[in-house]
Amino acid sequence: MEFSSPSREECPKPSGRVSIMAGSLTGLLLLQAVSWASEQKQWASDGAEYGTIQANCTGTGIGYNIIRVPMASCDFSIRTYTYADTPDDFQLHDFSLPEEDTKLKVDTLIHRALQLAQRPVSLLASPWTSPTQLKTSGASCSLGLVHFLGQIIHDLSLARFLDAYAEHKLQFWAVTAENEPSAGLLSGYPFQCLGFFLPEACGQGPGSVALPLQVLTDPEAAKYVHGIAVHWYLDFLAPAKATLGETHRLFPNTMLFASEACVGSKFWEQSVRLGSWDRGMQYSHSIITNLLYHVVGWTDWNLALNPEGGPNWVRNFVDSPIIVDITKDTFYKQPMFYHLDHFSKFIPEGSQRVGLVASQKNDLVALMHPDGSAVVVVLNRSSKDVPLTIKDPAVGFLETISPGYSIHTYLWRRQCWSRYSRRHWARPGH
């Protein structure tokens, strides 16, 4: 494989709330959401919970730099709630953060992560539903949109959320309009959801759905949108070139951000598979593919879950890179965790993806760090070892082997190969 600089993409840093997405792309950002802590005991400096945050967010860990925060409850909560559950309170007089937010999300998770982190950590928020009084269905789950008059109140509730967290000295980098709005169009959808529309911006009537194409081609609506959030759950049906690639072609200055992914969510899958190397490879393959098709960040759904894949009030259990067994005060780092390490640790904010001419069929991606050093991540999903030659016109070439079922990260300063280093993980037995 050989570096090919002409296809380099400029990547601005998400360093504020104004025009943070005005450029083309940014470096890879890994972010997490957590809700399992709602059943936990007090944190101890040597306990499993503290170790989980330390493993994910610190310099000795894998260094995540964004935390995704659910706005009110989601399926990975132990109950359903919003911040304004009082009937007919259209002025939001009773809007408040419950203890799930103030004691668990804010104090137990977010501030602790910010204290331990050795580089800046940004916050991303997503709502699952509006206050139920604002929905056409009157329920947090199943089919339902924000009714026409409720849209303004719902917008106000989102702003009140940001203000409430600001009182706890927390500012948000970004907010998505809704988590999976298509779910709000499905009758019988089992957990919190909300369909939405932008009638004034898109010229649609109440109950219509604003598609990204409609929004981004409307000058008035587009000025409120800085990016498009995507989930990975239908990637096996929709090729990246036809979805991510085409979206970038149509809207090259609009950020693409992968805002949720997990394994074990399909009905035919086992929720938790401890030690699954294949699930780690699924993560790396997805991240590399997303990077190659202009996505700037990739979100793992849960920071940690229990051995069942929860807690989850609707029993929508899935797998997680870290599994915490509270009964044993123990946590397990899964292969997914170490696969994520290759990206979160070695592709810092502000990196630029560069072209790579490759003859091998391995999954691979090349990037330049802000300091000018280079990084190549190589994933071999086959059982066979693959000879590999990395050529950099600035310094020369390196011959190596990509073992079967392995992932490697190659990092070097472009002035000389002597600063070359490698991080390697392989499936046991390889």
Residue 380, C-beta contacts closer than 8 angstroms, at least 6 positions apart: 362, 363, 386, 402, 403, 404, 405, 406, 407
**Annotated catalytic residue: which of 49, 100, 180, 349?**
180
Residue with tokens 């659910």: 70
Residue 331, C-beta contacts closer than 8 angstroms, at least 6 positions apart: 48, 51, 52, 55, 304, 322, 323, 324, 325
> Can you state the percent helix, strand and coil of the chain, rounding each to 5?
25, 25, 50
Q: Is 180 a catalytic residue?
A: yes
**Annotated catalytic residue: which of 260, 308, 349, 399?**
260
User: For residue 427, which of 383, 372, 389 has the smallest C-alpha distance?
Assistant: 383
Tell me 215's DSSP state.
H
The overall longest dimension of the chain from CA atoms, in Å, is: 70
Residue with tokens 């298509």: 182
Tokens for 97, please give them: 């953060």
Tell me 281's DSSP state.
H
Q: Are strands 2-4 and 30-33 parallel, antiparallel or unpaired?
A: unpaired
Q: Is 178 a catalytic residue?
A: no
If you count them, how many residues does the chain have?
430
User: For residue 401, which of 410, 414, 392 has the smallest C-alpha distance?
Assistant: 410
User: For residue 378, which of 354, 413, 411, 348 has the smallest C-alpha distance?
Assistant: 411
Active-site positions read: 180, 260
